[in-house]
Structure 1
Amino acid sequence: MSAPPPETPAAPGLTFLAELSVTVGEPIDVGPTPEGHRRVIPITGGTVTGPSLNGRVIPGGADYQLLRSPTLTELDARYVLETRDGHRIYVHNSALRHGSAEDIARLNRGETVDAGSIYFRCWPRLTTAAPEWEWLNGRLAVGTGERHPDRVLIRIFLID
């Protein structure tokens, strides 16, 4: 008699944390390097809106981009959020953005591209010294992104 097939484990759930509207400056183009084409995108500010996490994006961070191919970009953004009550949360957000060569070229030129035609997923790590938000230090998150000419929208979900 054979054993029954193993059950597929349940996938973890997701809980919406916040939407970040991150404003950005003009790209700093480093150019082709041995690893790929490098660009640095200054982070100039923004807002944080969610059921419990609200505040602003502090100017001064950056998104360190590596254009791996005409269709694939790796993003490595680092910046700080400030909650409405003045607490600081450090964000290290790694992401992949993939689309047709034409759409990625349009994004890189600062043009509008339909978000549905771009795969933009991220895994933000949020850490803080604030006792009220310390629980974030022990949580993992994933998110979706949309690139607009003057900002990036990131929707962050905690993994249950």
Structure 2
Amino acid sequence: MSAPTLEELFTLRIEVGDPVDLGPAPDGHRRMVPITGGTLDGPGGLTGRVLPGGADHQVLTPGFALLDAQYVVETAAGERLSVHNRGVRSGDPADMAALARGEEVDPARVYFRCTPRLSSAAPAWAWVTGRVFVADAHRHPRRVDVRVFTVL
């Protein structure tokens, strides 16, 4: 067997609103971050947008965050894809606290990887339901950049 390879599918620039703080729980501090919009860009001129109305449910601890986001993207051709994206963001506790406060942190100092699950009723995108995807991501104060790859 050979190791899987990756092929870039698209990059999302996801705009986020102010976190809704749900408070401390036994497994970490919980909050929900609303997804307010964004853009999609990919190889071959693929473009689109992130629809408002999604959310990222988070569990924060001093050194890492568990993320569980659900949202919809729409291509310029009007094809919609459902995204359920689970991820892990980890780093130095001071950097993680700065991110939680909405501050900019050098992406090189933070490990941020995720596993998007995609599905679509659009015939051109039906294939995504039967594939595995991975992504690297960077958190900025008002957006998250997510570069999605198909695992071949």
Common fold: TM-score over 0.5: yes
1:112 corresponds to: 104
Gaps of 5+ in 1: 1-8
What is the letter of the counterpart of residue 47 of structure 2?
N
Match of residue 55, structure 2, among 37, 62, 66: 62
State the TM-score, normalizing by the size of structure 2. Answer: 0.97
1:83 aligns with 2:75: yes
What per-residue deviation string (whole Å, max 9, x for no partner) do you get for residues 43-63 of structure 1? 000000001542000000000
Structure 1 position 33, deviation (Å)? 1.3
Cα deviation, residue 18, structure 1 = 0.5
CA-atom RMSD in angstroms: 0.8
**CA distance in structure 1 between the aligned counterparts of 2:108 and 2:146, rounded to whole angstroms:** 14
Give the secondary structure class of the aligned counterpart of 1:54: strand
Q: How many residues align?
A: 151
Query: Structure 1 residue runs of 4+, over 4 Å off?
Result: none
Question: Taking structure 1 as the reference length, what is the TM-score of the superposition?
Answer: 0.92
Larger-Rg structure: 1
Q: Does the residue aligned with 1:112 lie in a helix, a strand or coil?
A: coil
1:30 matched residue in structure 2: 22
Q: How does 1:2-151 map to 2 (within 5 A)?
A: 9-52=1-44, 53-67=46-60, 69-151=61-143
The one-letter amino acid of 2:48's match is: G
* 1:131 shift after superposition: 0.6
Query: 1:152: which partner in 2?
Result: 144
Structure 2 unaligned segments of length 5 or more: list them: none
Identity across matched positions, percent: 53
Deviation per residue, 1:103-122 (Å, 9 max, x gap): 00000000000000000000
Whole-angstrom CA distance in 1 between matches of 2:62 and 2:27: 14
